Structure 1
Amino acid sequence: MDYIRREIPVCEVCQRPANQTCGGCKLVYYCSKAHQKHGWKEGHKLKCCAYKINYSEELGRHMVATRDIQQGEIILKEKPAVSGPKMSCTAHCLSCGVKLQPIQKDDQLDFYKCSSCNWPMCDVVCEKSEVHREECKAMSRKNYKCNIKYETPEKTEAAYCVIAPMRVLLMKESNPRQYENIMSLESHLKDRINTPLYLVLKANLVTFVIQVLGLSFDEETILKVSSIFDTNSFDVRCPDGSKRLRAIYVTASMMNHNCRPNTRHIYIGDDNILALIATVPISKGELITATYTQSLYGTLDRRKHIKINKCFDCECERCKDPTEFGTYLGNIYCSVCNSSSIDLVSEKNGMLVSTNPLDETAPWKCEKCGYCIQSRQMFWGNNALKQEINALNKSGPKVFEEFIDKYKATLHPTNHLVIQAKLALMQIYGNYKGYTLTELPDYLLTRKIDLCHDLLEVADKLESGWTRFRGTILLELQGAMAMQTKREFEDDKLTKAGAQDQLMESMVLLQEATNILRIEPHMKEILETKVQDLSNLLDSTNV
């Protein structure tokens, strides 16, 4: 009989037989907790992770799972290598990134200013922060004084374009190792160098660094830093909109893009630590991916956005599929074989799809009758409708309902513009003043539930797993379903057993939403309140 020889795991510290595996990477073993602690301090802390960075000619540097990763698992936590304000923005604090509010100074409104360089800040604490120290010294040495003044609440300032690149350049002396890490990232400067934005940066950013600050960098290096930011930075913002900045996370930047990614990320604490979370199970050897664009854009808009902002053409499976996994997110009804008398939600309706989704100039053809239109017609129509929906007054539901009804013969129920309108309606119904769950009439409560189901169907195809989008829909859906059950029970339309069954269904949805959203900043108390409210409702129907 042949025996398979099995290698016995040994302790990383003493090389004796071991059966305790590292809880992080699952790749090394220890014979005891004491040796695990010793191994961690002696260097395993720096190597312990569920991923590795590989390189290939096709993908460049990319992140690969070194073991099976569970859904909801935190793959990576990383501090920003550098952060700063967006190129052009309203007045924001250079230290904490908070949008600034003016204060009364000398009988007029203005911002608190750094006593050395005169940049708007929150207060003296932010003025003295470490993140502002080197740039303040560099500007003060040259007697530079920022001249930003308060004029209107939403006035944007182009002067902020110098801050983030300046911080990287100053690292060459203050933190050379981090400087090299950042400079090793892809820049795509050749693709950007002659764009209108970079012609402006040549005049403003380069002049500021060389002539105003007197730093010894050439034009190419300065513009390369700016291009590295544009290619690799993450948009960091608070849920309440009070803070917005851009930051580079060197390791997280190694992830490849996919229009249906297997991760999402959040930002934790004042240090803006990026936590990368697996939205679906990821198998050992599988690429770990993120999305560089909006998942609810159609293919035309997604690929254009990526090309302009990240300088490459996406060719993922979703982009190759003319139906976008059956959602038809970027498609419209055929005007020839569909008439106003046809059932507008029928799957038999003719749909215009691209004959080659990876070629923006390819014609679009009806799946049913073969009628074709040129790609430019799709671009024009799509852009016109985007402008229309973006211009809507978003304070109430009426305009969104009218938009959906107005274009029901052109835009099917899961077109990205209809989805945008439905998402707005889902958030208005049940949350806005005058439309809270207790205020909604029964027909609007039913409308909210239907909207949630429509959106959930799209989420399951495009953002499956533990995504923020899916978690938010589940949270809204369970609240509306619970309220509907409560009303039906109180009106004697439901028995006690029927109400209990429906509330348990709501509880299942809430538990899944909680699993997805509990790690999100500011969500803990909201979720706890939702669970308590639903538990109380269950108790009240059990009396």
Structure 2
Amino acid sequence: MENVNESGGGVGGCASNGGDVGGFMSGGSGVVGCVNGGGDVGRCASSGGDVGKCVSGDSDVVGCVSVRGGVGECASSGGDMGGCMSSGGSNVVACVSGGGVMGGCVSGGGGVRGCVSGDGDGGVGVFEEYLTSLLPHNAAWLAKAPPWCSNLALSNETVLANTKAWAERRASWTEVDICAPMRISVSEVYGRHLVATRDLRAGEMILLEPPLLLALRAKSAPYCSNCFKRAQNFSCPECGFFFCGADCITAEHRLECGILQRLGLTASHENRHHEESLINDRLSKLSPEQRAQAETLLQQSLSASEHQRRLEVLRHYVVLATVRTLVAMENNPLTKRLIFALQGHVNQSLQRYKVNQKNIVDVVVQRLGAANNTELVHRICSVWDTNAFDVPLGWGTRVHGLYPMSSLLTHNCRANTQQWFTAEGHLLLRTVQYVPAGAIITTCYTDPQWATLLRQDHLRVSKHFTCTCERCQDATELGTFLGSSQCAGCGAPVVSSQPLDPTAVWVCHGGCPQTATAKEVAGLGAKIGRSIGGMDGQDPVALISLARQLQQHLHPTHHVLIRLHVSTLNTIVNTDLRLMSDEELETVWAIASLVSGVVKRLEAPLTRLSVRVGREVVRLQLERLRRGRMMTGEATDIIKGLSEQVNECGLVLGWDSRMPDFTDVVQEYAALTHTINH
């Protein structure tokens, strides 16, 4: 047995999952992430701001490594403190027990019924209905799928365009043979989860899911509430929230607008007209000189007032997801059932409950009158807290989104799938390795680059379970020693005597009697966090220098050093390697080799981090070959050894245009291969 699911599957902006494609890590550039610190061991939450206060991109806190204001790669989207079912918990509303179940594919009838297995319904009836509704988005689920579905090299946007065109041409969704690549299963250990119905190729897209709901994050900049692009100077005249222009004020917004108006973030038409009349009347009675002075002061006052109003709008972004959900539940029965069926954890003893009560529930119930049932509003908050994904849209905006089917993914620290997001927010779930039929389909709720102490702490606090996967139970973290400092006695790595116990004594892996308490280990992490905070992640010289200093205390593959090294590699993504000196090239090559070795142990071959690191490994090796840094026989072996990595990088980097370009690297590889072979 590995982990208790079902924590909801909101994996947010983790490097391995959340969908960030702009950098090695979800914070873009820099050393983002967390260091053991402050006795909390990180306590990484997202922007909700409680239980450890590792804010998802805005400030530095104790125990966090933050470069240029981002700690990134924390928990999912809106502050995953709502939690999930605990290790021995029970399913939530709508998780009722049902009758017989079937597994596998179903022929005819036009639905995906039968894609359920287990001891009973387990509350999956609504998800089975929802799965059926996703058929127009998943041509690959047909027994006779269109030919393009088997092409792994198609970009995500091309897959989406082909899917839309295919769906438009299809006249009917009844009487079709469906063979979905996964089924919903239920067990006491994992709760509701997804299981592969057939062997899945590495890189295969097994789910394309449009967002059930999208909403601006609580700490977003002024973005349009409809298309989520950066808003300039236009606001809805009724509620005061930001929009691109009048065209973005849709019928859907008008349903929300009637509620949001009660915040009083804009003056009524009558009041504005009355104030303008009074001002104009008084100005007309002044002398020209007095009028000019008064108009200047008036303009300053109006600017200050508008600035304050805009701040108030931003402050109330925190209620948008809840209001949008209430409206959607009122107008769509399936959405309402899904919200009740999704996992959530409403617990009055949690700090998150108190934060939600003050910032959301009281506002929605008392000021907006959008609901009179506080339990319902807390329920909605917990669903977003537990299940929301951090969604990077095509124009740089990051929003929160609910994807019910993807929320059923089970956690594993070395997951076999990863989420990608299109420019408009569709989620594509792709396998990152071969997945045999019958295997549980997994994702990672944390950042795989975190050490076990951090990952476990995050999962206990935000997801309410303890992960018992192979990596978590291994004191060496699959031989990477990602959480190990150096033994003060002999210099060997220090490891936890009981990796699943955050209070366990740490011992020398080399066998000497030196030990350290968990508090001492956390204290070292806090000290390192303070030394790194605010560092410029775009300065490779500073990053390399700091890493060398920290190696006096940390094992060479400690997660802080790996993050520094990953940030160093991120600085050369667009660098012409021919401009590097031989010494610089060899220094960065040594870093890339070290990082690549760690990543290969921690992540499957087709993850974003794997191929981004792989890209730099290939580039650096090709430049070393070009400079004749090795003998002919060795060069031939290296070229052959790079073949698989080149293919993997070419495949994955081609899925999203926001990923680094690999075309020139492939051409250089082909040219060098030809030169060496001839």
TM-score (norm 2): 0.65
Aligned counterpart, 2:260:
139
Partner of 1:42: 174
- Output the CA distance in 2 between the equivalents of 1:173 and 1:421: 48
Give 2:612's aligned amino acid.
T
- Kindly, what percent of the aligned residue pairs are identical? 27
2:182 matches 1:182: no
Change (3 A) 1:486 1:337: closer
Q: Cα offset for 1:149?
A: 5.5
The correspondence of residues 320-331 of structure 1 with structure 2, limited to 5 A, is 320-331=473-484
Alignment of 1:72 with 2:203, yes or no, is yes
Alignment gaps of 5+ in structure 1: 1-9, 15-21, 30-36, 103-110, 339-349
Partner of 1:115: 237
Instruction: Give secondary structure in 2 for the equivalent of 1:53.
Output: strand
Equivalent residue, structure 1, for 2:611:
471
Displacement, 1:474? 1.3
Could you list the structure 1 runs, at least 4 aligned residues long, displaced by more than 4 angstroms after superposition.
10-14, 22-29, 37-40, 146-151, 153-156, 497-508, 533-543
Change (3 A) 1:351 1:522: closer
1:213 equivalent to 2:368? Answer: yes
Q: Select 1:89's aligned residue among 216, 220, 227.
A: 220
Kindly tell me: are residues 156 and 168 of structure 1, through their superposed partners in 2, closer, same or farther at Cα, counting changes over 3 Å? closer
State the partner residue of 1:249: 403
Deviations 1:460-495 (CA, angstroms, capped at 9, x unpaired): 111022111111111111122222222339xxx877
Aligned ranges 1:34-433 → 2 under 5 Å: 41-44=173-176, 47-98=178-229, 100=230, 102=232, 111-128=233-250, 132-140=253-261, 142=262, 144-145=264-265, 157-190=314-347, 193-238=348-393, 242-270=396-424, 272-338=425-491, 350-367=492-509, 368-429=511-572, 431=574
* Residue 311 of structure 1: how far off its partner (Å): 2.8
- Superposed displacement of residue 91, structure 1: 2.5
Query: Using the alignment, how far apart are the partners of 2:531 and 2:451 within structure 1?
Result: 17
Residue number among 510, 533, 536 corresponding to 2:646 in the alignment: 510
Task: Kindly state the Cα deviation for residue 266 of structure 1 after the two structures are TM-superposed.
Answer: 0.3
Supply the distance in 2 between the matched residues of 1:154 and 1:363 (Cα, whole angstroms): 48
The equivalent of 1:519 in structure 2 is: 655
Tell me the distance in 1 between the aligned counterparts of 2:407 and 2:354.
26
Note if contact 1:25-1:67 (Cα within 8 Å) is conserved in structure 2.
Answer: no
- Alignment check: 8 A CA contact 1:355 1:362 kept: yes
Q: Cα 1:48–1:13, aligned 2, differ >3 Å: closer, same or farther?
A: closer
Q: In the superposition, relative to structure 1, how do residues 409 and 202 fare at CA in structure 2: closer, same or farther (>3 Å)? A: same
CA deviation after TM superposition for structure 1 residue 371, in Å: 2.0
2:149 is aligned to: none
The offset of 1:532, in angstroms, is 3.7
Aligned residue type for 1:137? G
Amino acid at match of 2:577: L
Distance in 1 (CA, whole Å) between partners of 2:671 and 2:372 is 65
SS in 1 for 2:174: helix
Deviation by residue 1:279-326 (Cα, 9 ceiling, x = unmatched): 111111111110111110001111112223323222222111111111
CA contact (8 A) 2:589 2:620 kept: yes
Counterpart residue identity of residue 410, structure 2: N
Q: Which residue number corresponds to residue 96 of structure 2?
A: none
Q: Distance in 1 between matches of 2:202 and 2:317?
A: 39
Distance 1:160 1:43, change over 3 A: farther
Change (3 A) 1:154 1:459: farther
Alpha-carbon distance in structure 2 between the residues aligned to 1:461 and 1:209:
47
Q: What displacement does 1:55 show?
A: 1.2
After superposition, the Cα gap between the structure-2 partners of 1:174 and 1:412, relative to the gap in structure 1 and judged at 3 Å, is same
Residues 79 and 249, structure 1, Cα contact 8 Å, conserved in 2: yes
Comparing 51-60 with 533-542, greater Cα deviation is found at 533-542
The letter for the 2-side match of 1:258 is: N
> Displacement of 1:143 after TM fit?
7.5
* DSSP-derived class of the 2:489 partner: coil
**Residue in 2 that maps onto 1:462:** 602
Query: In the alignment, is the contact (CA less than 8 A) between 1:299 and 1:319 conserved in 2?
Result: yes
Residues in 2 aligned to 1:281 and 1:39: alpha-carbon distance in whole angstroms: 35
Q: CA separation of 1:258/1:154 partners in 2, compared to 1, >3 Å: closer, same or farther? A: farther
Q: Which residue of 2 aligns with 1:344?
A: none
Q: Distance in 2 between matches of 1:396 and 1:75?
A: 40
Q: CA deviation at 1:535?
A: 4.2
2:596–2:617 Cα contact (<8 Å) kept: no
Q: Which amino acid aligns with 1:256?
A: T
Paired residues of 1:266 and 1:274 also in contact (CA < 8 A): yes
Q: Which amino acid aligns with 1:200?
A: V
Superposition deviation, residue 401 in structure 1: 1.5
User: Structure 2 stretches of 5 or more lacking a match?
Assistant: 1-104, 110-137, 146-168, 268-304
Residues 1:487 and 1:79: Cα distance change in structure 2 (over 3 Å):
same
Offset, 1:501: 7.0
Q: Deviations over 1:149-168 (max 9, x none)?
A: 658x9999442110111111
Q: Does 1:449 align with 2:449?
A: no
Separation in 2, partners of 1:156, 1:404: 42
Is the alpha carbon distance of 1:163 and 1:48 closer, same or farther for their aligned partners in structure 2, counting shifts above 3 Å? Answer: farther
**Rounded Cα–Cα distance in structure 1 between residues aligned with 2:500 and 2:313:** 36
Higher relative contact order (CA closer than 8 Å, sequence separation 6+): 2
Whether the 8 Å CA contact 1:88–1:156 is kept in 2: the answer is no
Distance 1:294 1:156 in 2: 32
Structure 1 contact 90–156 (Cα < 8 Å) conserved: no
SS at match of 1:180: helix
**What is the rounded CA distance, in whole Å, between the counterparts of 1:413 and 1:362 in structure 2?**
23
Shift of 1:457: 0.8
| 1:178 shift after superposition | 0.9
Aligned residue type for 1:125 = D
In the alignment, is the contact (CA less than 8 A) between 2:569 and 2:588 conserved in 1? yes
- Decide whether the 8 Å contact of 1:238 with 1:244 is kept in 2: yes
Instruction: Work out the CA distance in 1 between the residues paired with 2:590 and 2:506.
Output: 31
Q: Secondary structure, in 3 states, of the residue corresponding to 1:336?
A: coil
How many residues are aligned here? 485
* TM-score (structure 1 length as normaliser): 0.80
User: Residue 121 of structure 1: SS of its match in structure 2?
Assistant: coil
Separation (CA, whole Å) in 2 of partners of 1:213 and 1:13: 47
Asked if structure 1 preserves the Cα contact closer than 8 Å seen for 2:231 and 2:243, the reply is no
CA distance in 1, matches of 2:432, 2:376: 38
Distance 1:198 1:483 in 2: 55
Shift of the alpha carbon at 1:195?
Answer: 3.9
**Matches of 2:563 and 2:476 in 1, distance apart?**
18
Q: What displacement does 1:375 show? A: 0.8
Query: 2:564 is aligned with what amino acid?
Result: A
Aligned amino acid, residue 200 of structure 2: I
Distance 1:511 1:266 in 2: 19
